[in-house]
Amino acid sequence: MTKGELLAPAGDMECFEKALQFGADAIYLAGKQFGMRSAPSNFDWDTLRSAVTLAHQKGVKVYVTCNTLPKNEEIDRMPAFLEAVADCGADALIIADLGVMSLAAKYAPKLERHVSTQAGVVNYQTANVLYDMGASRVVLARELSLDDIAGIRAKTDPHLELETFIHGSMCVSFSGRCLISSYLTGRDANRGDCAQPCRWKYHLYEEHREGQFFPVNQEEDGTYLYNSRDLCMIEHIDDVLKAGVKSMKIEGRAKSAYYVAVTTNAYRHALNDYYKEGDQWKLADWIREELEKVSHREYSTGFYYGQEPGQNTKDGGYIRQYEVVAVCDDYRDGVAYLSQRNRFFAGDTLDILPPSGIPFEFRVDRMFNEAGEQVDAAPHATQKLTIPTETVIPKGSMLRKKRML
């Protein structure tokens, strides 16, 4: 069975390390310029060089996003940027603009060129033209069905790789090309600075009735007109691979290291199980449950089966069933050494995500603060704690608690 690539996001070095730890085959990230996510801290040149070295030691590839739509004054800075990315040893550039494609061939010729989903590739003719221009991969538009993807695969050069998103936030605009943020806030979504107005709550005002508003539906809280559900294909990775997809991509460069750890781990285990079981594969219950333990909007399968993902018009918030309460700094001689992240109590049963990726539960019977005093609660952010326990909690484990709803 031909194995696909699991491609994980990284907005900073902590996220990058979690993607490596939990089994990504490749990681995509951004430098300080030209990436479609300006909110994350992103990578300066020294950090990028270190990340690439670390990844390559583990056989993992690094792709650098260069997928904004640059204006004239920005294009002038592009050659130096491309040369610097190549100097850091990255494996590929993710590009949306045809002018940047041409510059990359000249100034970073050894790097693969992947065409971003921002380019909106929806047919085999466009994919073939991009391949002739030097693209080794196209990230297909998120609006395609599996049948559409299979049709593109059948009529493109087999050396051209296809990549699609399999998990994460969806955009109500076509392949992310949107001007709503620019109109309402002056923040350009096509330069990585989206204010996400699609997640805001809207009311309808009538022109001649000043000061009066009318809900778009009959709910008192108004309607979230544009708030798309999140994508989740964890139960359908077999269909994605059979359609001819090479690289399966998790959205989330603006999300936390915990999100990267959980999603990468879940899809890694699902894929490994599928490679072992083939057509007899069935998703393990615990893997599906893991994706409920990160903040997310209501899940859907997007456009893959011909339907639209649909909008969640009731609210613009996330479903948050769990929160990380601590990280294990070390475990030795029957004692777990923790750094607290959120409040928890003696007597709590915590859910552990260890570096092995197989979750288990653990009850906190006793815990002690830095002064060695026994305490009933851990209320202070980042405080150090020790917990005596015969249950081995491996270093690097994330300790989670189910939230009271």
The pTM is what?
A: 0.88
Tell me, what's the pLDDT at 194?
73
Q: Which of 342, 343, 325, 336 is nearest to 365 (CA)?
A: 336
Distance CA 260, CA 295 (A): 11
Burial bucket for residue 264 (CB in 10 Å: 0-12, 13-18, 19+): buried
Tell me, what's the pLDDT at 218?
41
Q: Which of 301, 362, 291 is nearest to 165 (CA)?
A: 301
Write the DSSP assignment of 210-232 as a string of letters: TT-EE-SSSSTT-B-TT-BPEEE
- Cα 61 to Cα 56, 103, 139, 163, 238: the distances in Å are 6, 22, 16, 15, 23
Which residues pair with residue 27 across a beta bridge? Answer: 8, 62
pLDDT tens sequence across 38-48: 656 789 999 99
- 186 is written with which tokens? 């002056």
Q: Which helix (H) or strand (E) holds 126?
A: helix 124-132
For 136-251, strand residue ranges (E) read: 137-139, 161-168, 204-205, 213-214, 230-232, 247-250
Distance CA 38, CA 188 (A): 10
Tell me, what's the pLDDT at 382?
86
Amino acid at residue number 264: T
Distance CA 364, CA 335 (A): 12
User: Does residue 219 have a pLDDT over 60?
Assistant: no
User: Does residue 220 have a pLDDT over 60?
Assistant: no
- 97 is written with which tokens? 């603009």
Distance CA 24, CA 49 (A): 18
CB atoms within 10 A of CB 395: 14
More confident residue, 307 or 132: 132
Backbone angles phi and psi of 81, in degrees to 5: -65, -45
Q: What is the mean pLDDT of residues 139-159?
A: 96
Amino acid at residue number 269: H
The SS3 call for residue 34 is: coil
User: Does residue 138 have a pLDDT over 90?
Assistant: yes
The SS3 call for residue 266 is: helix
Which residues pair with residue 241 across a beta bridge? Answer: none
Average pLDDT across the chain, whole number: 89
Name residues whose C-beta falls within 8 Å of residue 292's C-beta, 6 or more positions apart in sequence.
Answer: 319, 321, 322
The SS3 call for residue 136 is: coil
pLDDT tens sequence across 304-323: 998 766 666 566 667 889 99
Q: What is the mean pLDDT of residues 257-263?
A: 96
Distance CA 131, CA 122 (A): 14
Helical axes 13-21 vs 45-57, angle rounded to 10°: 10
For residues 331 and 395, is the Cβ–Cβ distance under 8 A? yes
Q: Give the range among 2-6, 155-159, 326-330, 358-362 with minimum mean pLDDT.
A: 2-6
Tell me, what's the pLDDT at 282?
96
pLDDT bin (cut points 50, 70, 90) of residue 353 is very high
Tell me, what's the pLDDT at 332?
96
The SS3 call for residue 162 is: strand
Tell me, what's the pLDDT at 20?
97
User: Does residue 34 have a pLDDT over 50?
Assistant: yes
User: Does residue 391 have a pLDDT over 70?
Assistant: yes
User: Does residue 203 have a pLDDT over 70?
Assistant: no
User: Does residue 116 have a pLDDT over 80?
Assistant: yes
More confident residue, 173 or 402: 402
Tell me, what's the pLDDT at 42?
84
User: Does residue 405 have a pLDDT over 70?
Assistant: no
pLDDT bin (cut points 50, 70, 90) of residue 190 is low
Q: Give the range among 213-227, 313-327, 389-403 with minimum mean pLDDT.
A: 213-227
pLDDT bin (cut points 50, 70, 90) of residue 380 is confident
User: Does residue 119 have a pLDDT over 70?
Assistant: yes
Q: What is the mean pLDDT of residues 8-33?
A: 95
pLDDT tens sequence across 269-310: 999 999 999 999 999 999 999 999 999 988 999 999 987 666
More confident residue, 315 or 165: 165
**Chain centroid offset of residue 283 CA:** 21
